[in-house]
Amino acid sequence: MNKRFVSIGFRYLKSDWATIRKKELGSIPFVLTAVDHGRKVIVAANPLAHAGGIRPGMVLADAKILVRNLEVLYDDPAIAEKVLSRLANWCIRFTPAVMLDEPDGLLLDATGCAHLWGGEEKYLGDILARLRGFGFQVHGAMADTIGGAWAAARFAKSPVVVPPGEQISALLPLPAAALRLDEYTCERLHKLGLRQIKDFVGMPRSSLRRRFGDDCIRKINYALGHEAEIRPLVFSPEPWQERLSCLEPILTLTGIEIALEKLLDALCSRLCREGKGLRIATFKGYRIDGKMVSVSIGTNRPSHNETHLFKLISLKFENFEPGPGIELFTLDAPKVEDAIAAQSGLWNSTSGLQDPKLAELLDRLTTRFGEGHFHRYLPDEHYWPERSVKKALSLTEKPTTPWTLDRPRPLYLLPQPEPITVTAPIPDYPPMNFRYKGKLHKVIKADGPERIEQEWWLQTGEHRDYYCVEDEKGHRYWVFRLGHYQINGQVTWFLHGYFA
């Protein structure tokens, strides 16, 4: 498939943006100025000021002589890049490959996109019409190369669609500046009578290089397609992405669900064929007012089960506001992993953590209640109780050490031990009662002690003597005394966990 590019140029980018933000500026001539060597210099002018003879680079004092009622605004040097970036984000609905063409343009890789609009003329016309509807004065063109599209957009009657393969004939009558040559090179070409591209493009490359340098040859090759022009993309396209353009803006939940079903069908089919499953998915909707809405979900295991993924995403539809209508839907899978064998079959029930239905249940619960509510723990190689467990990264992670089964451990272990008050302690015996958070617990039964020494290679400190105690209501606790019993009675006790 031949490459096709669209070049969009904004004639009055900064002044148009100022007019969009303040509508009253549309009826008066105004300029944007900046200080240069102690003088106020014109940076940009709106069409009314431009019609009065004001040009960028002119001193403000001279400009006020040409237009007496001139409105003066201060220029923000960063505004052009910010506006272009926002417009590039908006253009994602026309193609996933958008490039900045600073200081006042955008480039779109439109390869394979125009047929969704009914042809290249309608595709380009829709882009320019909608940008003009926002308030920008634009010109644009489509051609086989970036250089060809740029030249046609700025030096031919816009909009221009250069038919595939007719790049050279479209460039020949254009001036030398259409090749994006610098001003000095263009002046030298004019002095030699080489005013149009057709006057010098056929000359020997060695002669052109000797007189005008390598940049001239490079720009000619770019425009003619003899050398590939590489530009960085504003957004790197996801390798696992599906797009769905809409003939009419979608407003209803039913329409959104149909779009999601189609995207999931296409994406999951690709994943299944390659033995992959997604771990993270993002469903996006691009609205006709320029805004974007999205929802993201995650899975505990790689999945390409369309029904399951649809349920996860649909649980978040309350945050998916279509507004005036959605014209483009995308489904991205930024994190994809190899699907395990159990998921490649007919979703048969297996045992334990390998059961895909368990992973799907956890996915639904996490989607509904949020991250951080459900955890899986594995044993860790530490004596100190609060270090002896760790959070598992996934359902498939294997333990590196067995669980401690020969000694009692509480069902719920506090992240850090909490102090308790023990009355009338007896040396080397469990407490008779203790007070925790203001509540007194009378100990009926007790078992212990179990001494756990400090891990000296990590930190120094006293050992702990743990006891399992049961109060008068049948509640069981894991408490410990820090260090040896002191004669003066200064003993510190802590509560560290609860038994079932």
Tell me whether strands 241-250 and 160-161 are parallel, antiparallel or unpaired. Answer: unpaired
What's the pLDDT score for residue 189?
92
Rank 82-86, 247-251, 370-374, 429-433 by mean pLDDT and report only the highest.
Answer: 82-86
Contacts of 42 (CB under 8 A, 6+ apart): 31, 32, 33, 54, 55, 56, 57, 58, 59, 60, 63
Indicate the helix (H) or strand (E) that contains 169: helix 167-171
Name the pTM for this structure. 0.66
Distances 226 to 32, 69, 89, 177, 221 between C-alpha atoms, Å: 40, 51, 30, 19, 5
| Nearest-angstrom CA–CA distance, 48 and 29 | 5
Residue 135 contacts by C-beta under 8 Å, 6 or more apart in sequence?
Answer: 16, 19, 20
Rounded CA separation 383/389 (Å): 10
Q: Residue 412 class from Cβ within 10 Å (0-12 exposed, 13-18 middle, 19+ buried)?
A: exposed
Q: Mean pLDDT over all residues of the chain? A: 88
User: Would you state the pLDDT for residue 488?
Assistant: 63
Provide the sign of the torsion angle of the four alpha carbons 438, 439, 444, 445, taken in this order.
Answer: negative
Percent of the chain at pLDDT exceeding 90: 56
Peptide bond between residue 103 and the one before it cis (omega within 30 degrees of 0): yes
Please list, in sequence order, all residues whose beta carbon lies within 8 angstroms of the beta carbon of residue 31, skipping any fewer than 6 positions away. 15, 42, 43, 44, 45, 46, 49, 54, 60, 63, 70, 71, 72, 73
Instruction: Kindly report, residue by residue over 15-38, the tens digit of the pLDDT.
Output: 999 999 999 998 899 999 999 888
The pLDDT, as a whole number, for residue 262 is 95
Each residue's pLDDT tens digit, 100-148: 999 899 999 999 889 888 899 999 999 999 999 999 999 999 999 999 9
Q: With pLDDT > 70 as the criterion, what percentage of the chain qualifies?
A: 95
Q: What is the pLDDT of residues 196-212, one digit of tens each?
A: 999 999 899 898 999 99
**Residues 455-474: tens digit of each pLDDT:** 888 888 889 999 999 999 99
Q: Do residues 279 and 336 make contact, with C-beta atoms less than 8 angstroms apart?
A: yes
Q: Per the structure block, which two tokens stand in for 206?
A: 């060695």
* Token pair for 262: 């189609």
Find the helix or strand (DSSP H, E) in which 495 lies. Answer: strand 492-498
Q: Side-chain half-sphere of 80: how many Cα atoms within 13 Å?
A: 19
**Residue 132: predicted pLDDT:** 93
Q: Which long-range contacts (CB under 8 A, 24 or more apart) does 216-219 make?
A: 216/179, 216/181, 216/185, 219/147, 219/179, 219/180, 219/181
What pLDDT score was predicted for residue 346?
A: 39
Q: Rounded to an integer, what distance in angstroms lies between the CA atom of residue 364 and that of residue 298? A: 10
Q: Cβ distance 73 to 31 under 8 Å?
A: yes
What per-residue confidence (pLDDT) applies to 385? 87
DSSP secondary structure code for residue 51 in this structure? H
d(CA 140, CA 287): 23
Residue pair 302/276 in contact (Cβ under 8 Å)? The answer is: yes
Distance of CA 133 to the CA centre of its chain: 27
Q: Are β-strands 105-109 and 412-422 bridged in parallel, bridged antiparallel, or unpaired? A: unpaired
The β-bridge partners of 250 are 326
Quick: pLDDT tens for 325-366: 999 999 999 999 988 655 444 344 445 566 677 777 777 777
User: 3-state DSSP: the chain helix, strand, coil percent, rounded to 5?
Assistant: 35, 30, 35
Give the Å distances, CA to CA, from 93 to 28, 162, 176, 469: 34, 22, 34, 65
**Tell me, what's the pLDDT at 359?**
72
Domains in the chain (CATH in brackets) are: 1-28+69-236 (3.30.70.270), 241-367 (3.30.1490.100), 412-498 (no CATH)
Which of 18-22, 265-269, 343-347, 371-375 is predicted with the least confidence, judged by mean pLDDT? 343-347
- Structure confidence at residue 257 (pLDDT): 93
